[in-house]
Amino acid sequence: MDKYTGYVVVVYLVTFLLLVGYLGWMWWRLRQVRGEEERR
């Protein structure tokens, strides 16, 4: 660990948060489509 650790941690976090965010968005869209199917 050295003075650059902050940058490293932030990049790893941002990359995987973006990924989790995208997965969450997909999950939300899937739920919406399914909800519409069920309402019929």
Partner 1 sequence: MRQDRVTTGLGLATLLSLGVAVALGLSAPLDQNQGSLVRLFFVHVPSAWLSYLAYGGTGLFGLLYLLTRQRRWDRLALASAEIGVLFTVSTIVGGMLWAKPTWGAYWVWDARLTTTALSIVIYGGYLLIRSLIDDPDRRARVAAVVGLVGTLYVPVNYMAVEWWRGVHQTQTLKLLGGIRFDAAPIYGWVLLVATLAFTLLYAYLLRVRGILAAREEAREERELMEDLQGMEVARG
Partner 2 sequence: MTAPSPGPTRLPQARRRRRNPLPTVLGVLALVGLTAFLAFGNLGKSLEYFVTPTEYVQQRAELEGRPLRIGGLVKAVQYNPQTLDLKFDVTDGSASFPVQYTGAVSDLFKEDQGVVVRGEFQGDTFHASELVVKHSEEYNVPQTQAELKDLLRQAE
SS3 letters across the chain: CCCCHHHHHHHHHHHHHHHHHHHHHHHHHHHHHHHHHHHC
Written as six digits, the tokens of 33 are: 């489509």
Task: Tell which positions 1-20 bind partner 2, by CB under 8 A.
Answer: 2-4
Provide, rounded to whole angstroms, the least separation between the CB of residue 2 and partner 2.
Answer: 3
Residues near partner 1, by CB under 8 A: 1-5, 7-8, 10-12, 14-16, 18-19, 22-23, 26, 29-30, 33-34, 36-37
Residue 1 or 35 having the CB closest to partner 2: 1
